[in-house]
Structure 1
Amino acid sequence: MDHQIKGWFKKMTNNTDAVAYAFLFSGDHEQIIYGALSRLHLSPVHADFDDYVQECRLAFPAIYRAFPEDPQTKPHQFLAYAQLALYRRILDQLRKAWRHQDHQETGDPELALAAVPVAERLEDLVHARQYRLRLLQVVGTTGTLGEWRYLVGTLIDHRSAAELAAHHGVSRQTVYRWRRALLRRVTQEFFDQF
């Protein structure tokens, strides 16, 4: 058993990952992790702070290998490079988490339904329904196929621009173009009357 441990330790000392971790944990180099997280306003009181610190530690060897020069000979330049790389990595993870969170509703469905504003007067409900029907008539008779797809996809199917693009096999820019055209048509139809 001792022979296996010695062999593993020898492989680790020759490994660039071991060298990278030795560099990270020497001196105060680990402060770059806390600096990157601080720039993202993640403090130790954040629920996932320890997870992000660990993620930075795990990403460090790859950053060490990616540095174009020898980190041992240019430690200050490398530390600045590594801190920026860690900042970008965690920022990407946060953005993905935010996007994922936007697509999911959490909590009790009863509370979510209770939070939906309810029209207090019957006349408001009738006017809203008439407005939606008029909007569908305008786009259905004079609108383009793209405007129709955008209207139905957002109003009825509740899809995001990315989901609409994937569903119809077009780019998101095309979906945004549909939206602009629809807004122009609605503005002309409903607000030019006044």
Structure 2
Amino acid sequence: MENKNRSMRKGFEHMIKSGHQRIVFGALKQLHVRPFMEEFEDFLQEARLTYAKAYVKFPGDPIAEDEKFRVYAYQAIYWRTLDLIQINQKVEESNLEEFTKEELTIPNLICNPKLVERMMSDDLFRRLYEKCTPAEQRFLTDSYVLQLCNAEIAQKENISRQRVSRLRRQVGCKALMVIEEVEE
């Protein structure tokens, strides 16, 4: 049910003026969509659009029923972003399945930059993982695979944030060594 007195523009204004952008960022964070990800800006813009649409479609008065509206907007953003993530994953999986055995020959691999990039990334990760201590391996898995932030890693591993920062530096130094080895 859309309210004729509310528009997408008013929804954007409401989001900015009321400080509700944190709802957008909170939903993205819950889904592990981080600023360093390639698709972050796309997800962020889509989340903002979803907020504005939720503002228009909200059955009550978003200003008077602020708490209910925030829950409504958060859920709308969460589900829309989750749908987009699943669509992206299906597209990536289907892109990899499209390759036949003939296409996976060395000359064809060199011509496909996305596949080469993915293979290089996986190979670098494997090499780095092998050089790390068990604590560094857990950090690498938490930050690279699970995409957790320092605070989340500290809580999960039951260590201090300073220890997480130290692990990040140690893994970073080892990553530089692995990259230098590959370039030689």
When normalised by structure 2's length, the TM-score is: 0.49
When normalised by structure 1's length, the TM-score is: 0.46
Quick one: higher RCO (CA 8 Å, sep 6+), 1 or 2? Answer: 2
Please say which structure displays the higher CA radius of gyration.
1
